[in-house]
Amino acid sequence: MAISLSASSIPRLSGENPAASSSMSPLRLRLPAGARGFGGGGRRISVNSKPRGFSLVVEAKKQTYNSFDDLLAKSEKPVLVDFYATWCGPCQFMVPILNEVSIRLNDTIQVVKIDTEKYPSIADKYKIEALPTFIIFKDGKPFERFVRCSDG
Amino acid sequence: MRKFSEQYARRSGTYFCVDKGVTSVVIKGLADHKDTLGAPLCPCRHYDDKPAEVAQGFWNCPCVPMRERKECHCMLFLTPENDFAGQDQAISFEEIKESTSNM
Protein backbone atom coordinates (compact mmCIF):
# COMPACT_ATOMS: atom_id res chain seq x y z
CA MET A 1 0.00 0.00 0.00
CA ALA A 2 2.19 2.79 -1.23
CA ILE A 3 1.58 6.45 -1.61
CA SER A 4 3.50 8.31 -4.22
CA LEU A 5 4.44 11.85 -3.61
CA SER A 6 5.88 13.45 -6.65
CA ALA A 7 7.44 16.75 -7.51
CA SER A 8 8.17 17.77 -11.01
CA SER A 9 11.07 19.41 -12.71
CA ILE A 10 13.63 19.43 -9.99
CA PRO A 11 16.95 19.46 -11.75
CA ARG A 12 18.81 18.40 -8.67
CA LEU A 13 17.74 18.32 -5.09
CA SER A 14 20.34 17.20 -2.62
CA GLY A 15 20.65 17.52 1.13
CA GLU A 16 24.07 19.08 0.98
CA ASN A 17 23.06 22.03 -1.10
CA PRO A 18 19.91 23.43 0.45
CA ALA A 19 20.58 26.94 -0.77
CA ALA A 20 20.37 25.96 -4.40
CA SER A 21 17.30 27.30 -6.05
CA SER A 22 15.03 24.70 -7.50
CA SER A 23 11.92 25.08 -9.52
CA MET A 24 9.82 22.88 -7.33
CA SER A 25 6.18 22.49 -8.13
CA PRO A 26 3.79 21.62 -5.36
CA LEU A 27 4.08 17.98 -4.43
CA ARG A 28 1.02 16.07 -5.47
CA LEU A 29 -0.02 13.24 -3.22
CA ARG A 30 -1.11 10.17 -5.05
CA LEU A 31 -2.55 7.24 -3.16
CA PRO A 32 -3.55 3.92 -4.66
CA ALA A 33 -7.29 3.42 -4.87
CA GLY A 34 -8.82 2.25 -1.63
CA ALA A 35 -5.92 3.33 0.52
CA ARG A 36 -6.95 4.00 4.04
CA GLY A 37 -5.51 6.70 6.25
CA PHE A 38 -3.04 4.96 8.47
CA GLY A 39 -0.09 3.06 7.18
CA GLY A 40 1.60 0.08 8.58
CA GLY A 41 4.78 -1.27 7.16
CA GLY A 42 7.34 1.36 7.76
CA ARG A 43 9.05 1.06 4.47
CA ARG A 44 11.45 3.94 4.34
CA ILE A 45 12.41 5.66 1.18
CA SER A 46 15.32 8.05 1.14
CA VAL A 47 14.47 11.68 0.47
CA ASN A 48 16.96 11.71 -2.37
CA SER A 49 15.60 8.66 -4.17
CA LYS A 50 16.32 8.52 -7.85
CA PRO A 51 13.54 8.95 -10.38
CA ARG A 52 11.79 5.82 -11.52
CA GLY A 53 10.98 5.07 -15.09
CA PHE A 54 7.48 3.69 -14.65
CA SER A 55 5.72 6.87 -13.60
CA LEU A 56 3.18 8.27 -16.02
CA VAL A 57 4.23 11.84 -15.53
CA VAL A 58 7.83 12.90 -16.09
CA GLU A 59 9.13 13.61 -12.64
CA ALA A 60 12.55 14.15 -11.26
CA LYS A 61 11.83 13.00 -7.77
CA LYS A 62 9.43 10.58 -6.25
CA GLN A 63 8.88 9.84 -2.62
CA THR A 64 6.77 7.04 -1.29
CA TYR A 65 4.93 7.19 1.97
CA ASN A 66 2.62 4.68 3.56
CA SER A 67 -0.04 7.26 4.29
CA PHE A 68 -0.74 10.93 4.46
CA ASP A 69 -0.07 10.78 8.19
CA ASP A 70 3.27 9.23 7.42
CA LEU A 71 4.07 12.15 5.14
CA LEU A 72 3.18 14.60 7.87
CA ALA A 73 5.17 12.75 10.46
CA LYS A 74 8.26 12.47 8.29
CA SER A 75 8.30 16.05 7.11
CA GLU A 76 10.89 18.22 8.77
CA LYS A 77 9.35 21.42 7.50
CA PRO A 78 5.82 22.64 8.07
CA VAL A 79 3.49 21.26 5.41
CA LEU A 80 1.02 23.45 3.57
CA VAL A 81 -1.80 21.24 2.35
CA ASP A 82 -4.18 22.41 -0.35
CA PHE A 83 -7.45 20.49 -0.31
CA TYR A 84 -8.93 20.95 -3.78
CA ALA A 85 -11.28 19.48 -6.37
CA THR A 86 -10.81 19.35 -10.12
CA TRP A 87 -13.91 21.36 -10.99
CA CYS A 88 -13.56 23.96 -8.27
CA GLY A 89 -12.75 27.23 -10.07
CA PRO A 90 -10.96 29.02 -7.24
CA CYS A 91 -8.85 25.90 -6.61
CA GLN A 92 -7.60 25.99 -10.18
CA PHE A 93 -7.10 29.72 -9.87
CA MET A 94 -4.72 29.04 -7.00
CA VAL A 95 -2.55 26.56 -8.93
CA PRO A 96 -0.02 29.06 -10.34
CA ILE A 97 -0.01 31.02 -7.10
CA LEU A 98 0.74 27.89 -5.11
CA ASN A 99 3.52 27.03 -7.55
CA GLU A 100 5.07 30.40 -6.85
CA VAL A 101 4.70 29.94 -3.10
CA SER A 102 6.25 26.53 -3.33
CA ILE A 103 9.25 27.91 -5.19
CA ARG A 104 9.75 30.94 -3.01
CA LEU A 105 9.29 29.15 0.28
CA ASN A 106 11.03 26.02 -0.87
CA ASP A 107 13.34 25.90 2.13
CA THR A 108 10.67 26.84 4.60
CA ILE A 109 7.62 24.72 3.84
CA GLN A 110 6.55 21.70 1.86
CA VAL A 111 3.49 22.13 -0.34
CA VAL A 112 1.14 19.19 -0.85
CA LYS A 113 -2.14 19.04 -2.78
CA ILE A 114 -4.90 16.60 -1.94
CA ASP A 115 -7.68 15.89 -4.40
CA THR A 116 -10.71 15.62 -2.13
CA GLU A 117 -12.62 13.62 -4.74
CA LYS A 118 -9.93 10.97 -4.80
CA TYR A 119 -9.23 10.93 -1.07
CA PRO A 120 -12.52 11.78 0.64
CA SER A 121 -11.45 10.03 3.83
CA ILE A 122 -8.60 12.47 4.35
CA ALA A 123 -10.92 15.40 3.61
CA ASP A 124 -13.50 14.02 6.04
CA LYS A 125 -10.88 13.51 8.70
CA TYR A 126 -9.95 17.19 8.65
CA LYS A 127 -13.56 18.34 8.29
CA ILE A 128 -13.03 20.03 4.96
CA GLU A 129 -16.10 21.85 3.69
CA ALA A 130 -15.38 24.78 1.41
CA LEU A 131 -12.76 24.38 -1.30
CA PRO A 132 -10.01 25.34 -1.47
CA THR A 133 -9.09 24.89 2.17
CA PHE A 134 -5.47 25.30 3.16
CA ILE A 135 -4.14 23.74 6.32
CA ILE A 136 -0.63 24.27 7.58
CA PHE A 137 0.61 21.26 9.51
CA LYS A 138 3.36 21.63 12.02
CA ASP A 139 4.83 18.59 13.73
CA GLY A 140 2.16 16.51 12.08
CA LYS A 141 -0.75 18.45 13.54
CA PRO A 142 -3.00 21.11 12.00
CA PHE A 143 -1.56 24.44 13.03
CA GLU A 144 -3.53 26.94 11.01
CA ARG A 145 -6.31 26.66 8.49
CA PHE A 146 -7.77 29.15 6.14
CA VAL A 147 -10.43 29.30 3.51
CA ARG A 148 -10.44 31.89 0.80
CA CYS A 149 -12.94 34.69 1.15
CA SER A 150 -14.61 35.60 -2.10
CA ASP A 151 -15.02 39.22 -1.03
CA GLY A 152 -12.58 41.41 -2.83
CA MET B 1 -25.37 25.17 -17.13
CA ARG B 2 -23.78 27.81 -19.32
CA LYS B 3 -27.16 29.31 -20.19
CA PHE B 4 -28.25 29.08 -16.59
CA SER B 5 -25.12 30.91 -15.43
CA GLU B 6 -25.60 33.70 -17.96
CA GLN B 7 -29.25 34.15 -17.09
CA TYR B 8 -28.66 34.05 -13.37
CA ALA B 9 -25.79 36.54 -13.56
CA ARG B 10 -28.07 38.96 -15.41
CA ARG B 11 -30.94 38.38 -13.05
CA SER B 12 -28.82 38.82 -9.92
CA GLY B 13 -26.75 41.74 -11.23
CA THR B 14 -23.53 39.81 -10.82
CA TYR B 15 -20.62 39.35 -13.17
CA PHE B 16 -18.26 36.61 -14.16
CA CYS B 17 -14.68 36.57 -12.96
CA VAL B 18 -12.05 38.54 -14.89
CA ASP B 19 -10.38 35.18 -15.31
CA LYS B 20 -12.88 33.29 -17.43
CA GLY B 21 -10.96 30.10 -16.69
CA VAL B 22 -12.47 30.13 -13.22
CA THR B 23 -15.96 30.62 -14.67
CA SER B 24 -15.42 27.79 -17.14
CA VAL B 25 -14.19 25.33 -14.55
CA VAL B 26 -17.13 26.03 -12.24
CA ILE B 27 -19.70 25.74 -15.05
CA LYS B 28 -18.14 22.43 -16.05
CA GLY B 29 -18.26 21.28 -12.43
CA LEU B 30 -21.93 22.22 -12.14
CA ALA B 31 -22.72 20.38 -15.37
CA ASP B 32 -20.78 17.37 -14.16
CA HIS B 33 -22.81 17.21 -10.95
CA LYS B 34 -26.03 17.73 -12.86
CA ASP B 35 -25.16 14.76 -15.07
CA THR B 36 -24.07 12.45 -12.28
CA LEU B 37 -26.32 13.51 -9.43
CA GLY B 38 -29.30 15.07 -11.17
CA ALA B 39 -28.74 18.53 -9.70
CA PRO B 40 -25.99 21.17 -10.04
CA LEU B 41 -24.41 20.74 -6.62
CA CYS B 42 -21.78 23.36 -5.85
CA PRO B 43 -18.43 22.04 -7.14
CA CYS B 44 -16.41 24.08 -4.66
CA ARG B 45 -17.28 22.10 -1.59
CA HIS B 46 -16.45 18.73 -0.12
CA TYR B 47 -19.38 16.54 0.84
CA ASP B 48 -19.78 13.45 2.98
CA ASP B 49 -22.80 12.27 1.04
CA LYS B 50 -23.51 13.97 -2.26
CA PRO B 51 -26.97 12.45 -2.99
CA ALA B 52 -28.09 13.50 0.49
CA GLU B 53 -26.87 17.02 -0.15
CA VAL B 54 -28.73 17.13 -3.45
CA ALA B 55 -31.91 16.04 -1.70
CA GLN B 56 -31.40 18.61 1.02
CA GLY B 57 -30.87 21.35 -1.56
CA PHE B 58 -28.87 23.95 0.35
CA TRP B 59 -25.88 23.66 -1.98
CA ASN B 60 -27.74 23.21 -5.24
CA CYS B 61 -26.78 26.09 -7.50
CA PRO B 62 -27.94 28.80 -6.97
CA CYS B 63 -27.14 27.93 -3.38
CA VAL B 64 -28.75 29.53 -0.35
CA PRO B 65 -25.80 31.87 0.43
CA MET B 66 -25.99 33.15 -3.15
CA ARG B 67 -29.76 33.56 -3.14
CA GLU B 68 -29.76 35.28 0.25
CA ARG B 69 -26.53 37.26 0.27
CA LYS B 70 -25.11 37.06 -3.26
CA GLU B 71 -22.19 35.13 -1.84
CA CYS B 72 -20.69 32.80 -4.39
CA HIS B 73 -17.70 30.97 -3.02
CA CYS B 74 -16.97 29.52 -6.46
CA MET B 75 -16.31 32.98 -7.86
CA LEU B 76 -18.92 32.26 -10.53
CA PHE B 77 -21.28 35.11 -9.66
CA LEU B 78 -19.41 38.18 -8.41
CA THR B 79 -20.92 41.43 -7.24
CA PRO B 80 -19.57 44.50 -9.10
CA GLU B 81 -17.51 45.71 -6.14
CA ASN B 82 -15.62 42.43 -5.93
CA ASP B 83 -11.97 42.88 -6.98
CA PHE B 84 -12.19 39.84 -9.23
CA ALA B 85 -15.42 40.83 -10.99
CA GLY B 86 -15.12 41.38 -14.73
CA GLN B 87 -17.52 43.14 -17.06
CA ASP B 88 -19.10 40.10 -18.64
CA GLN B 89 -22.31 38.32 -17.92
CA ALA B 90 -21.84 36.03 -20.88
CA ILE B 91 -19.48 33.25 -21.79
CA SER B 92 -19.35 31.24 -24.99
CA PHE B 93 -19.26 27.50 -25.27
CA GLU B 94 -15.92 27.82 -27.07
CA GLU B 95 -14.43 29.77 -24.18
CA ILE B 96 -15.49 27.06 -21.75
CA LYS B 97 -14.22 24.29 -23.96
CA GLU B 98 -10.87 25.99 -24.46
CA SER B 99 -10.35 26.68 -20.77
CA THR B 100 -11.21 23.19 -19.66
CA SER B 101 -9.76 21.18 -22.50
CA ASN B 102 -6.50 20.26 -20.78
CA MET B 103 -8.01 19.22 -17.48
User: What are the sequence ranges of the domains in chain B?
Assistant: 1-100
Q: Which of A57, A92, A150 to mutate to test the interface with B (most CBs of B within 10 A)?
A: A150
- The chain A residue lying nearest B20, using CA atoms, is A89
Mean pLDDT of B34-60: 96
| Active-site residue flag, A149 | no
**Domains in chain A, ordered, with CATH?**
70-146 (3.40.30.10)
Tell me which of A10, A88, A105, A136 is the catalytic residue. A88
User: How many other CB atoms are there within 10 angstroms of residue B58's CB atom?
Assistant: 11
Residue A150 has pLDDT above 60, yes or no: no
B42 is in an annotated binding site: yes
**Minimal CA separation from A79 to chain B, in Å:** 21
The residues facing B44 across adjacent strands are none
Residue B17 has pLDDT above 90, yes or no: yes
Return the closest-CA partner of residue B21 out of B72, B75, B63. Answer: B75
- The chain B residue lying nearest A130, using CA atoms, is B45
Distance CA B64, CA B47 (A): 16
Contact B83 A87 (CB under 8 A): no
Contact A152 B32 (CB under 8 A): no
Would you state the pLDDT for residue A68?
A: 82
Superfamily, domain B1-100: Ferredoxin thioredoxin reductase catalytic beta subunit (3.90.460.10)
Q: Residue A115: what are its φ and ψ, rounded to 5°? A: -80, 110
The answer for B 2-61 residues in CB contact with A (under 8 A) is: 17, 19, 21-26, 28-30, 32, 43-46, 48
The β-bridge relationship of strands A110-115 and A27-30 is parallel
> Do residues B26 and B17 make contact, with C-beta atoms less than 8 angstroms apart?
no
Would you state the pLDDT for residue A76?
A: 86
> Do residues B95 and B24 make contact, with C-beta atoms less than 8 angstroms apart?
yes
Residue A149 has pLDDT above 90, yes or no: no
- Which of A62-66, A85-89, A102-106 tops mean pLDDT? A85-89
- Comparison of pLDDT for B50 and B103, the residue scoring more: B50
Could you report the per-residue pLDDT of A27-72, keeping only the tens digit for each?
A: 555 444 444 434 333 344 334 444 443 333 333 334 555 578 888 8
B74 is in an annotated binding site: no
- The chain B residue lying nearest A93, using CA atoms, is B22
